[in-house]
Amino acid sequence: MIDSGHPGDADMIEKKLADEGIIPAEIKLLILTHGHMDHTGTAEYFKNKYQTPIAMNPIDCTILEIKSRGLMGAVIKYLSEKELHQSLRIQPDIHLVHGQRLDQFGLPAQIIALPGHTRGSLGILLDDGNLFAGDMFMNFLKPSLAHIYENEEALKKSWEGLKTYPITTVYVGHGKPFPFGKMR
């Protein structure tokens, strides 16, 4: 499973998993693309209820001290603090690093470090060319780099680095999947 939604989303996620015929107790790994609460909100729930191991870049383990810039960053920080009243501290079972393979979990894929949106952002590149990119990109009206980021220069550098991989389709945390070639 990749990312775990907002706090309070557990029932909805369990229903969607059931609709797809997925048994939560059989999920071998919960990969968190970064530490923002809209991606980590039910991680501890799945870890506690189903013993699902959590994997993420340890840089983002205590991230709800959001350093995003601009109005949207301020809004997200306010909403995060209002909803949780404290920092969300994720205790991953597995620390993911750039280039790490996930075959031992039944996933023919590798981890790609994608700093920028957060320092510890990462993507999961499947061997078939599908990239799960978290919030590095968004796709509402058209594909674009994230508008909320900790470090714009790092985000652009991550984008340049992705051009060296055989990516076909990008799956984003917000918006619809898109062909990688649509990003310019």
- Please, what's the b/e burial string for 50-68 (b: 16 or more CB within 10 A of its CB; e: otherwise)? eebbbbbbebbbebbebeb
Domain assignment present for 1: no
Q: How many domains in the chain? A: 1
* Residues spanned by the domain of 135: 10-182
Taking the C-alpha atoms of residue 53 and residue 97, their distance in angstroms, rounded to an integer, is 16
For residue 178, give the CATH number of its domain. Answer: 3.60.15.10
Domain assignment present for 4: no
In tens, the pLDDT along 83-142 reads 543 335 678 999 999 999 999 999 999 999 999 999 999 999 999 999 999 999 999 999
Instruction: Say which residue the tokens 């968190």 belong to.
Output: 32
Taking the C-alpha atoms of residue 127 and residue 134, their distance in angstroms, rounded to an integer, is 17
Domain assignment present for 3: no
In angstroms, how far is CA 30 from the centroid of its own chain? Answer: 10
φ and ψ at 152, to 5 degrees? -65, -40
In tens, the pLDDT along 53-94 reads 999 999 888 654 444 455 545 655 565 555 543 335 678 999
Domain assignment present for 154: yes
